[in-house]
Chain A
């Protein structure tokens, strides 16, 4: 290759870096995640020795989903500098979208079974009515709202897992970013969004069963006879795969110039504008993509949890998400995974009665009450003394070697 004008050979471009070979953290992460999945599988009740109970497999699978939404949060906050305090709304929407199909299809199976013995075979309208009163009896209604028009269709509801959070993020982000709302004002706006959504869903006539939410989601229509141990295993694998794919997707997006631009936006967005980049488009892209991934994480989480209700998307949930990422270490994807895993597992251990109370003689520390204090103190301590979070420890080791 020669330069046309001078005839000097052009310097060779740097060798094309294979993305994974270049990205050692991603490789390590994949290896550890595979190992973890393998160990859990081998110790599970469904496939292995049974050392790990099915309920623990579910907790671990749910934790993987929380790790995925934390990775998305890290991309939008740690890399792009948008402190969204509403990403759990997208997580919840994903859960609701898949939950509608799970509830509808299961109710339909039950209704058809019970009507099968009737002398006159039921018409489709009768089945739909019966499903309506089965699902909505609890909020004193028997009609399926229009929102449920496609609840019988798994493909449509799976599309909604991606479309509902994606469209909400697109519209919300477009309005917010084009008005140049940034910093704490944007955070407040995202809190307001998730608050409004959760308050709306709390209403009985919201069409999603008000504060009852959707339940029985652990029963998978078509596999109602399959033991929960097996279903838990499937969802655990699905969650691990989703986390792996999500991690690699984000690592790839961040690996080259796009990553450079969004980190530049985080550090000085006005300067990026004067370089000719349309900052709002980049923010909107990142905000929407992370919302979609959050929706997918939610769609995998709630069938393992078994129930979703509007309290799940209350503002506090999104604040926890930010806390996980801060504790794990912003601006590094594995930091977000560590933060979400450590904090949420610790939380279920301490609040689930697993941890022994501490008797000080004059006072007994009960972890169910003191957990939030511990979390608060931990958050303050990390912010003050380890601004790089748990992930920052890796830098420390890397330096010493």
Chain B
């Protein structure tokens, strides 16, 4: 069986947030999207640490945007998922769906 790196729970959440946000995926909307969907406060630092890890694995790419006075003159960093990242998300989804399939404890939730 070929060796694979599996996505951690939070890595998957971050990648799904990127997919939902499409071109507008920088720190603030990514954090807000995750908080809205998980209903938990998220640390911006942990999102960036995860994105950095994903970028090293080639699952995500980034590009710097314009700086604005509202951000203290600091540029936004936009992230998007790569083709490899998308394949990894699909692969993780298949694995999770097969594990979740017909679990009596989760039926009727």
Pairing of A with B: no
Residues of A in contact with B (beta carbons under 8 Å apart): none
Residues of B in contact with A (beta carbons under 8 Å apart): none
